[in-house]
Amino acid sequence: MNRRKFLKGFPVWAYSTINGDVEEKLYIRPPYSENGDFSKCINCDGVCATYCPEKIIKIADDKTPYLSFEKRGCTFCEECAKVCPEGVLRIDDKNKKKINATVEIERTKCVSWHGTICNSCSDVCLDSAIKFEGLWKPEIKEEKCTSCGFCITVCPVNAINATPIKRVS
């Protein structure tokens, strides 16, 4: 197993801190969960993960779903929301096709930023959210990006990362 495969095996999460104290673990949650109460997931057997055709929904130790962009990205097929028995994931006007995460390219790792032709990320972007400034400098246009994760899975040098956005209650 190479380094990239090893590191991609870890779930995508972060810790939110206040004054150095660990407040909560933040996960990248499935789409259609804008106002979802994940405490309801305790009563579920992870049906959303079972029905996800891309197999990117994983279940954390606390029985809540999170996304892993290890091998694929989200197609926004709506299957997870259709089968959610607790209504945590639901399709409505408020829950647009957007994942609650920020996707960024690390310029120091990106081979294109260092003069090597690589279009891996932009080739798979269904939202045309990755534009090249000049010939070599890919930038993610936040207003177009749905945080689907496909660019993360294809980057040959693991230069693209997603960070969960903390929900404001």
Taking the whole predicted model, whether its pTM rises above 0.85 is answered as no
Task: Output phi, psi for 62, to 5 deg.
Answer: -85, 15
* Cβ contact 33:55 at 8 Å: no
Tokens of 134: 């000049």
Cα 136 from Cα 54, distance rounded (Å):
31
CATH of domain 102-164: 3.30.70.20
168: confidence class by pLDDT, cuts 50, 70, 90: low
Task: Look at residue 93 in the predicted model and tell me its pLDDT.
Answer: 63
Cα 56 from Cα 14, distance rounded (Å):
18
Return the domain boundaries, the chain.
Answer: 3-83, 102-164
- Tens-digit pLDDT profile for residues 24-53: 578 999 999 877 789 999 989 899 999 999
* Cβ contact 52:149 at 8 Å: no
Rounded to an integer, the average pLDDT of 118-147 is 92
